[in-house]
Amino acid sequence: MTDLRSASVAETVRLTSEGDLTPRVVVDEALDRIASLDPGLNAFSVVLAERAHEEAVALGQGRDTTGPLHGVPIAIKEEVDVAGCVTTFGGEANTTPAAADAELVARLRAAGAVIVGKTTMPEFGAYPYTEGASRGITRNPWDPTRTPGGSSGGTAAAVASGMVPVGIGGDGGGSIRIPSAMCGLFGLKPQRGRVTTAPHEHLWWALGTVGPLARTVRDAAIVYDVIKGNTDTDLYRAGPTGSFEAAALREPGRLRIGWSVKPVGVGVRPDPLHVAAVEETARLLTTLGHDVREVDPRYPDPTAAFVPQFFAGIRSEAQAVEHYDRLERRTRETYRLGSWVTPKVTQWALRASERVSARANRVFDDVDVLLTPSIAHRPPRVGVIDGRGTVASSLLAMPAIAYAALWNVAGNPAASVPCGLAPDGLPVGVQLVGPTDGEEVLLSLSAQLEQARPWPLLAGASGVTD
The Cα 220–Cα 462 span in angstroms is: 23
The Cα 248–Cα 450 span in angstroms is: 10
Q: 3-class DSSP state for residue 295?
A: coil
- Between helix 329-337 and helix 303-320 the angle, nearest 10°, is 120
- Please say whether the beta carbons of 255 and 371 come within 8 A: no
Label residue 342 exposed, middle or buried (CB < 10 Å: 0-12, 13-18, 19+): exposed
**How far is the CA of 400 from the CAs of 21, 126, 223, 346, in angstroms?**
40, 12, 26, 24
The Cα 158–Cα 74 span in angstroms is: 10
The Cα 109–Cα 67 span in angstroms is: 9
So which residues are the catalytic ones? 77, 151, 175
- Please say whether the beta carbons of 267 and 466 come within 8 A: no
Go through 88-100 and write b for each residue having 16 or more CB atoms within 10 A of its CB, e for each that does not: bbbbbbbeeebee
Q: Which residues pair with 441 in a beta bridge?
A: none
- Please say whether the beta carbons of 313 and 307 come within 8 A: no
Q: Which helix (H) or strand (E) holds 188?
A: strand 186-189
**How far is the CA of 316 from the CAs of 186, 204, 339, 351, 456, in angstroms?**
30, 8, 11, 19, 40
Q: Which residues pair with 77 in a beta bridge?
A: 119
H helices of 321-387, in order, are: 329-337, 343-360
